[in-house]
Copies of this chain bind each other. A is one copy, B any other.
Amino acid sequence: MNVLIIGGGGVVGQKLAAALAARGTLRGQEIAKITLADIVDPAPVDGPMQIETTRCNITDPDSIAACLTAETDVVYLLAAVVSAHAEEEFDDGMNINLFGALNVFQRCRELGTKPVVVFTSSIAVYGGEVPDPITDHTFLNPQTSYGAQKAMGELLLTDFSRKGFLDGRGFRLPTISVRPGKPNRAASSFMSSILREPLNGQEAVCPVDEDFPHYYLSPRKCVENLIRGAEIAEEDLGQNRAMMMPGRMWTIRQLIDAMTAVAGPEPAKLIRWEGQPEIQAIVKGWRFDLRPEKSVKLGLQADESFEDNIRYYLEDDKPAG
Contact = CB atoms under 8 A, between A and B. Distances in A.
Judged by DSSP, the binding face of A is: loop
A312 to B, nearest CB: 32
A254 to B, nearest CB: 29
Contacts of A92: none
Given A90-B163, A163-B90, A142 B130 contact: no
> Which of A128, A140, A152, A162 is most buried by chain B, counting CB atoms within 10 A of its CB?
A152
A121 interface: no
Contacts of A128: 238-240
Q: For the side of the interface on A, what is the size category? A: 20 to 34
**Integer count of this chain's copies in the complex:** 2
Interface stretch (A112-120, A153-161, A271-279): A153-161
Interface stretch (A44-52, A57-65, A143-151): A143-151
21 contacts: A128-B238, A128-B239, A129-B137, A129-B238, A129-B239, A137-B138, A137-B139, A137-B141, A139-B139, A139-B140, A141-B239, A142-B155, A142-B158, A143-B162, A145-B159, A148-B155, A148-B159, A151-B155, A152-B152, A152-B155, A155-B155
